[in-house]
């Protein structure tokens, strides 16, 4: 189950950045996926960072950067 949640969070981040043009906050991720615990989302983000899927700048909001993924503008 842990890997499924981690993958859902990663995919949510991708979709959010594609739609809004900036990274979601931890609370955005919670709301978007129906999760209650911001600390568990933070721990999944840390695991994604350890896996090299994302980069973050400390605890600053909206600093998630997806590695090895190129976003293109629509229209």
pLDDT for 39: 96
pLDDT for 49: 96
Is 29's pLDDT higher than 80?
yes
As for how many domains the chain has, the answer is 1
pLDDT for 74: 66
Can you give the residue range of the structural domain that contains 35? 2-66
On whether residue 73 sits in a domain, the answer given is no
Is 8's pLDDT higher than 70?
yes
Q: What is the CATH number of the domain that holds 53?
A: 1.10.10.10
User: What secondary structure, in 3-state letters, does the chain show?
Assistant: CHHHHHHHHHHHHHHHHHHHCCCCCHHHHHHHHCCCCHHHHHHHHHHHHHCCCEECCCCCCCCCEECCCCCCCCC
Residue 69 structure tokens:
């993924």
């Amino acid at each position: 189950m842990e890997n499924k949640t981690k993958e859902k969070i990663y995919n949510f981040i991708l979709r959010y950045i594609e739609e809004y043009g900036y990274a979601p906050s931890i609370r955005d991720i919670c709301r978007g996926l129906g999760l209650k615990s911001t600390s568990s989302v933070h721990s999944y983000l840390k695991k994604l960072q350890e896996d090299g899927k994302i980069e973050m700048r400390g605890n600053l909001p909206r600093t998630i950067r997806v590695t090895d993924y190129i976003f293109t503008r629509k229209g």
